[in-house]
Structure 1
Amino acid sequence: MTCIIVDDEPPAIRILQKYVAQLPDITCVASTTKSIEALQLFQEHEPDVIFLDIQMPDLTGIQLSKLVKGKTKIVFTTAYAQFAVEGFELNAVDYLLKPIAFNRFIDAVEKVKNSLAIPHETTAKNITAPETDYFFIKTDGKNRFKKVMLNDILYLESIKNYVVLHVEGEQIVTYNTLKYFEENLPEHLFAKIHKSYIVALRKVTHTDTNEVWVQQQCLPLGDTHKVAFFEKINQKKL
């Protein structure tokens, strides 16, 4: 999926570019602070979606959106909530209120994907082979994969249809489900502790009745996962 970012404030553009760079199935092909130039970029790239600020000089985002034709979807971004109704009346896919949180941005991308009927893509298979201490996951672009060492994984976090792999020194985002990783990661090394979290057992520092600490991060321990989790903990108990 391709996108163009239009905002008269460069810092706002950089934030969205950073968000886009963390998601594997969307690429920013152009950005601009000028609404007139945005029209030219649209004609040149014909993107799947435009992230469009409403308060713009020359042409407002509302005016610009009326000139965008074809399959391109609109996601409005603005600091002013009063424009939301008008934005949705123009059939915008979503409306992001600044400052935009990453989770909220992911929601908007998912809505765009659903409106475009983009199919789900899976990651590399057979990551649990006995001799395997690493695997590759798809991160960005058609043929871009990231090597992940099993021993570097701290925990996995599910956000909508994405999974964030928290590894030593970085976060890796892939378009997949937590269930996929639950079924393919080695059971003796990993444990699901919540509907949104899988932890690497070797990285767990301590536990409580309702919480699991992975290094300095406190994660929730769901009621439906307590028995199985503590069974694995007891197997390692002296």
Structure 2
Amino acid sequence: MDILTCGIVDDDPETIRLLKKYLSKMQHVRILFQTTAPTEALDKLRKYHPDILFLDVEMPELSAFDLIKWIKPPTKVVLCTGHREYAYDGFEHRVADFLLKPIDFSRFFDVVTRLREPQFHAILNSMRVTPRYCIVNEKNNRKNYKVLFEDILYIEAIDGGAQLVLAEEEKIVLSEPLVRVYNALPKNLFVRISNSFVINTEYYKSYADSKVFLYHVKRHLPISRIGLAKDFSDWLNEHKL
């Protein structure tokens, strides 16, 4: 297997130490450079061309979005941020992914493993920039909410409607039935596993004993027989190595 090269730019030394610790747990990975100074990062990027650059968003002098202008393929940028609202901005700049601080190892491992796949760069270049959010109306409430797709862990059918289950178990109940919500969501991000559940594939962890396991979700989601959950079956087959 080829060596995966990485660079780290973050003004927080603790975050750099954590990322180095995580990378040390993975095989065939080499860190080319790390720096807390974004201006120094420009010089490093002229010299090195890492496969993955872990990049803090908010830094003195230059932000991540200032630096991204100077980053060229094949380097893939992973934003590291404590603010979820930067996720949509990141995808507008065609970043590969983002890690929310404090960075969880399981999420980190999933991102790095996915990005090292050789076909990823071709897929990224073929993607069109599309909205990364939806506007929803809460049931029995005149308020509407802007919800980032990245914040939706899964969607559950409930009382003739559907509820969005977000990070930290926050829930938004909708009057629309699950099938209507599912049909309105991007199929490259969401997949139906049964008549009662739709999952965000970004958080998919594993499937066993007729249950789906998601990162950051304690609950195990029951699945229909694999023949009935055709969307899920097709998605699994499409992404098998």
Which structure carries more relative contact order (alpha carbon 8 Å, separation 6+)?
Answer: 1
Q: Which has the larger radius of gyration?
A: 1
